[in-house]
Amino acid sequence: MNQNLFHLLAEGIVDPKATAIETPDGHRLSYADILAASARMAHALVSLGVVPGDRVAAQVEKSVPALMLYLASLRAGAVFLPLNTAYTPAEIAYFIGDATPRLFVCDPAAAPKLAPVAQAAGARLMTLGADGSGTLGEAAAAGREGDFATVPRGADDLAALLYTSGTTGRSKGAMLSHGNLVSNTRALQQAWRFDQRDVLIHALPIFHTHGLFVASNVTLFSGASMIFLPKFDPAQVLGLMGRASVLMGVPTFYVRLLAEPGLDRTSTAGMRLFVSGSAPLLAETHRAWQQRTGHAILERYGMTETNMNTSNPYEGPRVAGTVGLPLPGVEVKVTDPVSGETLPQGQIGMVEVRGPNVFKGYWQMPEKTAAELRPDGFFITGDLGCFDDNGYLQIVGRGKDLVISGGLNVYPREVETEIDALPGVVESAVIGLSHPDLGEAVTAVVVPDPDHPATESAILAALAPRLARFKLPKRVLFLDELPRNTMGKVQKNQLRDRYAGLYG
């Protein structure tokens, strides 16, 4: 049987005339329109030489054509590789050099600076604008009409490659199969009671798991519709709540919505579900939201490698500060980080996950795959957690040296490497500090060269062309030396304590 995600999605369409996507400018696409538009795009991909198993990489603005490119890649049996629009050409060069896609699709305006990057990776450069313009948009519009026979795929065949940064060294491409994505979509549909009456406010980017898979796949598999916004704007999202039923967001969405005076029981009365994930939701935000709106935010926990693992219940208590219970079909255990033995309930340890949601390994990195994915199928998440008396999982910290800023991951090592290479810097330590809006803010602590000390503005200016903006430190602080333990390891805890109140 064809296990291609798109095939299963198409097979489940009950009402082809029903709205699947609407945009703020009043544009509306039915499910039949999606079948036709993705077919045209899939024909264009095939005419450009894409064959099953080829990677199709895209750094494009969030738009309906961009979503069609994702669906068309699935239909053509290709492996979709979405890239954050904030990545610089230097960052893109690594991803497409590693993934060697057949096509690299970028925004028409970015083509001049990305053409050499595509050429170096041996990828054909195509362009796609948010309005469907560009060489790929034109090829789709001018090419074959009519249906496209979605390429048969098995459950283990790859559907997508999503890069996650590594604690040390290079970013790793997480290989996600059709079976991974379909099983998780179905688990979430069931857990969150999605059906064709739902209207999702889609304000997340579509280059990560949350916006691309959780939000888009769940909506389309349910025959529901989504209001597809180019980015998150709290006033606009609040204004749409009157005709929507679900919002999915990172904690920063909820913090910013709470700052809107119009957020109250009346403005949220038509909504049935608010989902939060990708970073810890403060219990304080959960409580403030419930007080203002009467709704308990449903917090869930996932990651790129595993899709979604646990969720607070739809019916039953949604407990602030917890990420709920394992999703149907997903096994979660808490283990001793050293021995790997399962720990008794209540003890803090490493969260490990197994199930049809867990990825196939890291692209061309068998050693890294073997280090994180056990032979029995459990994935070592790098998150520290424990189960409470009711079986709810709490994430209490991260074993991995990771900062999550506004729901986006930043690996300190990557930023430190760039800073350490700058003139006037002896060494640096990058930490995450508590931030009222972003959850955590990337912060650099730098030991300056006493003879020619670097300044904060010079460091930030030098980093800007090298790193995506969300990775840039919000502040650069200076110290004569970094605190170290007897082994010589930098004591980041001490730095975090010392600067704890920096952002209020």
278 binds ligand MLC (CB under 6 A): yes
Place of tokens 């975090």: 496
Based on the shown chain and the rule CB under 6 A, indicate whether residue 406 belongs to the binding site for ligand MLC.
yes
Region binding ligand AMP by CB under 6 A among candidate stretches 110-118, 123-131, 265-273, 298-306: 298-306
Kindly tell me which residue out of 299, 372, 416, 440 binds ligand AMP, with binding defined by CB under 6 A.
Answer: 299
Go through 280-302 and write b for each residue having 16 or more CB atoms within 10 A of its CB, e for each that does not.
Answer: bbbeebbebbeebbebbbbbbbb
Q: Report in angstroms how near the CB of residue 359 gets to ligand MLC at its nearest.
A: 12
Q: C-beta of 484: minimal distance to ligand MLC in Å?
A: 28
DSSP state of 314: S
Looking at residue 55, the DSSP 8-state letter turns out to be: E
Is the Cβ of residue 63 or residue 304 nearer to ligand AMP in the bound state? 304
The residue range among 221-229, 332-340, 382-390, 405-413 that interacts with ligand MLC, by the rule CB under 6 A, is 405-413
Helix and strand element counts for the chain (H, E): 16, 24
* Residue 474 CB partners (closer than 8 Å, separation 6+): 435, 438, 441, 442, 443, 503
User: Backbone phi, then psi, for 50, in 5-degree steps?
Assistant: -70, 125
- Cβ–Cβ under 8 Å, residues 399 and 361: no
Query: Which of the listed partners (ligand AMP, ligand MLC, none) does 210 bind, with a CB threshold of 5 to 8 Å by partner kind?
Result: ligand MLC
Under rule CB under 6 A, residue 164 binds ligand AMP:
yes
Looking at beta carbons, which pairs linking 281-286 to residues 24 or more positions away fall under 8 Å? 281/251, 281/254, 281/320, 282/251, 282/439, 283/320, 283/321, 285/251, 285/254, 285/255, 285/258, 286/320, 286/321
In the list ligand MLC, ligand AMP, none, the entry touching 82 (Cβ below 5 to 8 angstroms by class) is: none
**What angle is formed at CA 264 by the lines to CA 260 and CA 267, rounded to 5 degrees?**
95
82 binds ligand MLC (CB under 6 A): no
Stretch that binds ligand AMP, among 46-54, 98-106, 272-280, 489-497 (CB under 6 A): 272-280
Is 240 in contact with 267 (CB distance < 8 Å)? Answer: no
d(CA 184, CA 218): 9
d(CA 379, CA 393): 16
Cβ neighbours around 242 below 10 Å, total: 12
Q: If DSSP codes are grouped into helix, strand and coil, which group holds residue 5?
A: helix
- Measured in degrees and rounded to the nearest 5, phi and psi for residue 183 equal -65, -40
CA distance 411 to 492: 14
Q: By C-beta, is 12 or 436 nearer to ligand MLC?
A: 436
* Residue 277 engages ligand AMP in binding (rule: CB under 6 A): yes
* Min separation Cβ 227 and ligand AMP, Å: 24
407 makes contact with ligand MLC (CB under 6 A): yes
Q: Using CB under 6 A as the criterion, what x/- string covers residues 300-319 for binding ligand AMP?
A: -xxxx---------------
Rounded distance between C-alpha atoms, residue 281 and residue 175, angstroms: 28
Q: Is 276 in the site for ligand MLC (CB under 6 A)?
A: no
Return the one option of ligand AMP, ligand MLC, none that residue 323 interacts with (CB less than 5 to 8 A, by type): ligand AMP
Question: Starting at the edge strand that comes first in sequence, how are the strands of the sheet with 124-127 ordered?
Answer: 124-127, 103-106, 55-59, 79-82, 158-164, 172-177
How many residues touch ligand MLC under the rule CB under 6 A: the total is 22
At its nearest, how many Å lie between ligand AMP and the CB of residue 404? 6
CB of 386 to ligand AMP, least distance (A): 13
**Partner from ligand AMP, ligand MLC, none binding residue 383, C-beta < 5-8 Å depending on class:** ligand AMP
Question: Which x/- pattern, by CB under 6 A, does the window 291-310 give for ligand MLC?
Answer: -----------xxx------
268/304 with CB nearer ligand AMP: 304
Q: What distance in Å separates the CA atoms of residue 303 and residue 296, rounded to the nearest whole number? A: 22
Q: Is 61 in the site for ligand AMP (CB under 6 A)?
A: no
Residue 324 engages ligand MLC in binding (rule: CB under 6 A): no
What binding mask, one character per residue, do residues 404-423 give for ligand AMP by CB under 6 A, x or -?
x----x--------------
CA 236 to chain CA centroid, Å, is 22
The whole-angstrom separation of Cα 299 and Cα 312 is 6
Is 497 buried (19+), middle (13-18) or exposed (0-12) by CB count in 10 A?
A: exposed
Binding mask 245-264 for ligand MLC (x = CB under 6 A): -----x-x------------
Q: Determine phi and psi for 415, rounding to 5 degrees.
A: -70, -40
204 binds, among ligand AMP, ligand MLC, none (CB under 5 to 8 A by kind): ligand MLC
Binding mask 386-405 for ligand AMP (x = CB under 6 A): ---------x--x-----x-
408 binds ligand MLC (CB under 6 A): yes
278 contacts ligand AMP (rule: CB under 6 A): yes
Judged by beta carbon, residue 134 or residue 302, the one nearer ligand MLC is: 302
* Contact positions vs ligand MLC (CB under 6 A): 204-205, 208-211, 231-232, 250, 252, 277-278, 302-304, 405-408, 438, 469-470
* Contact positions vs ligand AMP (CB under 6 A): 164, 209, 277-280, 299, 301-304, 323, 381, 383, 395, 398, 404, 409
